[in-house]
Amino acid sequence: MQLDHQYIKVERDEGVVLFTLNSDPDRYNPWFIPMMEELTVALDIALADPDDRVFVFTGGGENFSAGGDVPARSGRARPEPIWMKTHNGQRGLWNAPTMTAEERMQNIGLSGWRIHMQVYNSNKPTIAAVNGMAAGAGCDLAFACDLRIGTPETKLCQVYVRRALPTMDGGAYWTPFHLPHAIAMHMLLTGDVLSAQDAYRFGVLNQIVEKADLLPTTMDLARRLAKGPSVTHQLVKHMVRQLHMTKFPEHRDLLQRASAAIGETRDSEEGWRSFMEKRTPVFQGR
């Protein structure tokens, strides 16, 4: 399947697939609906192709991704979906052309979760080349990868709590998975940024390189992995998931229940309103 991409870039080189989030670099590559649609289909295609052996994710411009498309939630103009049908301005169900019949029968609403599950379930090595800020869903995508390389400018942020949101795309799982408990809880409860230096110190980043060296260094490692034993990679990743990561799929069910409860609070409304008004939120605990 050949598709034109407007919100991502997909490049192939010696068995490596480079996915560049390029929805709007000036706004830190938000997760527009058509960006998610393009990315999930591109991932399905690459996952099914044995010649695509390693996946690299990075961001267009100066930053990786700031995550969710907040202006869309505020009613501001947003790009139109490619396949998804909207209902009175609200998101509909996933309707990507690469979906299986079993997926369609589940009637899953469109969100970034499908993409995070694709990365989680991938038996091919995944690397995040984290340029600049990775926040929200962008941070979760980087955390879901097997390896992460950053620069001195790299920042990782579980920003959700700042706007009275639960961790949307795996943050409540991945943050304590990668970090010591107290450091992880600090990120999740405050929304404070984890610097590149601290991320490297705690083992979240495998390496810190200069900005100009980020993609060359990452691609060198990816090409090295692509020349490795792909069946062994497949089985090693499968064993690691089965031994250490079986709880991750449960995150979605917990998220749905938490989101429903939080959505009924006034703090939730204040979180979105304060973001759009560019001010500090005033939460009341109700």
- pLDDT tens for the chain, 286 residues: list them: 667 899 999 999 999 999 999 999 999 999 999 999 999 999 999 999 999 999 999 999 999 999 987 654 545 567 889 898 887 777 888 899 999 999 899 888 888 999 999 999 999 999 999 999 999 999 999 999 999 999 999 999 999 999 888 888 889 999 999 999 999 999 999 999 999 999 999 999 999 999 999 999 999 999 999 999 999 999 999 999 999 988 888 877 887 888 888 888 988 888 878 877 778 888 988 8
Whole-model pTM?
0.92
Can you give the length of the chain in residues? 286
- Are 276 and 74 contacting, i.e. CB atoms less than 8 angstroms apart? yes
* CATH class belonging to 8-214+227-276: alpha beta
Q: Which residue has the tokens 């998220």?
A: 255
Of 106, 96, 179, nearest in space to 142 by CA: 179
Helices 171-178 and 137-144: crossing angle, nearest 10°?
A: 50
